[in-house]
Amino acid sequence: MSEERPLEDLAALLEDETARRILTEIYRTPMSASALSERCDASKPTVYRRLEDMRRCELLVEQTRPDPDHGHHHTVYATNLERIVVELDDEGIEFRIDRREPMADRFTKLIEEM
């Protein structure tokens, strides 16, 4: 979701209690959809829909983690959302979404600035 998209798009998503709970749960610890379903007391289809909505709005990232116990891998979700800033001035309402920058991107930027 670029900052050009209307505030209403983001507000509609954040109005949903399940979406807010998911963001809160994955703020510090990435989780699978199954874990989120349990933690948020929501069905898996509901959780998957909210995750897709948040992915489209660029409020989360998907990560693949190996599962050493079963020899497979699974997808976990983490928020890259740091804060949403809404400012009111004489010209109207503006908003800004501050996102966490992945460690690899921060490292690349540091090297490029040297």
Residues counted in the chain? 114
31: how many CB neighbours lie within 10 A of its CB? Answer: 18
Asked whether residue 12 is domain-assigned, the answer is yes
For residue 90, give both structure tokens: 């004489």
Q: Answer whether residue 106 shows pLDDT above 70.
A: no
Asked whether residue 89 is domain-assigned, the answer is no
Cα–Cα distance between 35 and 26 in angstroms, integer?
10
Q: CATH no. for residue 62?
A: 1.10.10.10
Asked whether residue 111 is domain-assigned, the answer is no
pLDDT, tens digit, 9 for 90 and up, residues 58-84: 899 998 887 777 777 889 999 998 888
Domain that holds residue 73: 7-80
Asked whether residue 101 is domain-assigned, the answer is no
C-alpha pair distances (Å), 55 with each of 40, 60, 62, 69, 114 = 18, 6, 8, 28, 33
Number of domains into which the chain is organized: 1
Asked whether residue 2 is domain-assigned, the answer is no
pLDDT, tens digit, 9 for 90 and up, residues 14-57: 999 999 999 999 998 999 999 999 999 999 999 999 999 999 88
Q: Answer whether residue 3 shows pLDDT above 60.
A: no
Higher pLDDT, 2 or 12: 12
